[in-house]
Amino acid sequence: MKTIQIGSDEHRDLFCKSFVETHRPYRPEDIRLLDLDSERLARLKSLPVWNEAVRTESETAMKVQTLGKVETDPVLAEAISLQGYEEGRHAAVISLLTRQYGISVAPFPEPRPPADPVGAFISTGYGECMDSFFAFGLFAIGKRSQFFPADLIDIFEPIMQEEARHILFLVNWAAYLRARTSLFGKPFFDIRRTWKIGAQVAEHALHAARIGKGGETQEEGFTMTSHQSFGDLSARSFLELCLSENERRLSPYDSRLLRPQLVPSFVRLVLKVMPRPSRPQPLSNQASGSPDA
């Protein structure tokens, strides 16, 4: 397959077309949630993720939809607006689930459009790159352990795959934007992006530190706190699983598109220096079935 020049119209058309063509048209209101027995319901309610999940998806939807409205390139605008719609749909699905199962969600202020839509998209997008990488592994564990009922897994599977499409879009969009920036503007673009990524890393590290101290609350650390709900697992096995799931979820898309590198590269480095367990732990070899996209 021939390579593609990053920043070209062909590159833009490929990452936008790939995104739009892999969109799955379903409506939250068509989802039928089954009744759960009291044990499964209690287990679902005990997950400390609901407040953060509803709030984050609503805020992300507002940020992405705002960029979709102000983007002047119609090809980019179509794909970004569709992503904004998908984020809104994530919020709607989670709200539906919490209402149906009587899971209380703390009220939060209505999200407001960001003053800097491009900056907000960069920030949110790289934050999603971090969250999604670990969420892919957590979801695989939840699926395998049957922690969640099968019909809930079926509801969240497309959401997971949509997040994979979102981070794929983000890294290609950012590379496209950078390539189209003048030589003089490139250092400013890099500084801005590095600053936004750094802020996301700091935010995630703070969450991790709070978890380490046992001070985590329901309002914080969506993916990280949910990790605690799935029992014992070595850090190495978990990271290896995240890597393999990340690769699997991104594998269906055109190989000419850039892949998120930051978190996977860092995790590979961590795995190199992490001591190996005395007994082999084949968890990452048990990756679940193929994605739906």
Residues that bind Fe ion in the complex, under the rule CB under 5 A: 57, 87, 90, 128, 163, 166
Q: How far is CA 152 from the centre of its chain?
A: 18
In terms of CB distance, is 55 or 284 closer to Fe ion? Answer: 55
In terms of CB distance, is 60 or 237 closer to Fe ion? Answer: 60
CB of 162 to Fe ion, least distance (A): 6
CB of 57 to Fe ion, least distance (A): 5
In terms of CB distance, is 71 or 87 closer to Fe ion? Answer: 87
CB of 112 to Fe ion, least distance (A): 18
Residue nearest to Fe ion (CB): 166
Burial class (CB in 10 A: 0-12, 13-18, 19+), 281: middle
d(CA 139, CA 122): 25
CB of 132 to Fe ion, least distance (A): 7
In terms of CB distance, is 4 or 94 closer to Fe ion? Answer: 94
d(CA 35, CA 259): 39
In terms of CB distance, is 165 or 207 closer to Fe ion? Answer: 165
Residue 126 Rama label (left phi>0; alpha psi -120 to 50; beta): alpha
Question: What token pair was written down for 291?
Answer: 């994605």
In terms of CB distance, is 24 or 186 closer to Fe ion? Answer: 24
In terms of CB distance, is 12 or 166 closer to Fe ion? Answer: 166
Instruction: Report the C-alpha dihedral over residues 161, 154, 61, 247, rounded to 10 degrees.
Output: -20
Q: CB neighbours of 48 closer than 8 A, spacing ≥ 6?
A: 216, 217, 218, 225, 226, 228, 229
Q: What's the one-letter identity of residue 228?
A: Q
d(CA 137, CA 253): 19
CB of 213 to Fe ion, least distance (A): 28
* Exposure string for 214-238, b = 16+ CB within 10 A, e = fewer: eebebebbbbbbbbebeeebeebbb
Q: How many CB atoms lie within 10 A of CB 44?
A: 18
Q: Which residue has the tokens 């379903």?
A: 26
Q: CB neighbours of 28 closer than 8 A, spacing ≥ 6?
A: 89, 92, 93, 96
CB of 88 to Fe ion, least distance (A): 9
CB of 106 to Fe ion, least distance (A): 19
